[in-house]
A = this chain, B = another copy of it.
Amino acid sequence: MSEVYATRRSRLRDRCQASGSATALISRPANVRYLAGAAPRGAVLLLGKTEDLLVCAEPPDERPYEGRPDEALLIHTLPRPGGDAAVAAAGLAASQGADSLAVEEHHLTVSRHRAVHETAPQLRLAGLGTAVEQLRVVKDEEEISCLRIGAEIADQALGELLESILVGRTERHLALELERRLVDHGADGPAFPTAVATGPHSGRRAHRPTDRRVEEGDFLSVCLGATYRGYRCEIGRTFVIGTSPADWQIELYDLVFAAQRAGRESLAPGVAYRDVDRAARQVLDSARHHEGLPSLMGHGVGLEIDEDPQLAPAAMGKLDACVPVTVEPGVHLPGRGGVRIDDTLVVRPEADGGPELLTITTKELLAL
């Protein structure tokens, strides 16, 4: 595994040197984990001219820990707890003769940036931009395999829930039960707060579960995901409670299903992000559901649940192979409820069979 991290760091080092900074300070936790194999709380990665250093704010044993640091990395732990590893790393960089340091300006606060500058005023501070996030977009097969296992876990947890009695139970209890099942099946934990939305709440994006109970005739929409070895996936489904869905429910479901299928089928290397959004969105638009539509129809997933690319109307860029994304259109009718359908897929070329669906729970409208 160690080579994977060394290769990633070497790619980043090339980018930094091309833009004039030989030394970089990585502080965003998901970026630290991507390059170092682990992101102990408060740790930063100092990417030096030749040598890389994981600077930890506390002895690793004392705090929650995810993953294991690449054994090829030097590890430096601050002598006293409570210090800022970014500030300490800047001091180390200066003492090793660096003259400039690229930092993650989209992650460091103004105060931390100032403290870094004051500790090492001889360092010219540059911006690293989202260089690491860009490296993270295309996944290797090891990463995809973690996402695939996470998706299997989420499918299992959801499948078990569907076999239980739902009427009368609250959104909060159903969400907690799903999260317990994720862990039962081997997840590190939920990938994000599980959303369970009933009746008038159904179809809302990222609905926060309430004490409302499932009732006959409700739409029930559920969105959950597992984290597996740090990788986060997402699945969303909408069901109807009771034996006979109303006509408006069937109509709305069919519409969102068609939009989601159009989005899925548009996924291919070389397709513009905005065209995936448009493929799904125009189906909803055509049914005059253009109000209250979500701002995006999907997004990348990986070490974070919402990462690049954004599949949104104004997004710039094109899909590559091996980019995992969600496709998740939805419609919410205020006061009535709605439908969301959400899958995680990996973009693959046509020759490899097209998009790989990771979340395989049925998308038929189940009446539970």
Contacts and interface: CB of A to CB of B under 8 A. Distances in A.
Identical copies of this chain, number: 2
A58 to B, nearest CB: 8
A109 interface: yes
A113 interface: yes
Contacts of A113: 110
Nearest to A129: B111
B64 A207 contact: yes
A294 B130 CA distance: 35
B295 A80 contact: yes
Interface string A62-98: 1111000000000000001110000000000000000
Contact of A312 (B82, B109, B172): B82
The main secondary structure of chain A at its interface with chain B is: loop
A290 interface: no
Contacts of A108: 109-110
A334 interface: yes
A62 B206 CA distance: 8
A295 B106 contact: no
A313 to B, nearest CB: 9
A206 B59 CA distance: 13
Contacts of A176: 176, 179-180, 183
A94 to B, nearest CB: 19
A58 B294 CA distance: 10
A103 B183 CA distance: 41
A304 interface: no
Given A64-B207, A82-B296, A82-B312, 5 more contacts: A58-B295, A62-B292, A81-B295, A108-B109, A180-B180
Interface of A: 58, 61-65, 80-82, 103, 105-111, 113-114, 127, 172-173, 176, 179-180, 183, 193, 204-208, 292, 294-296, 312, 314, 334
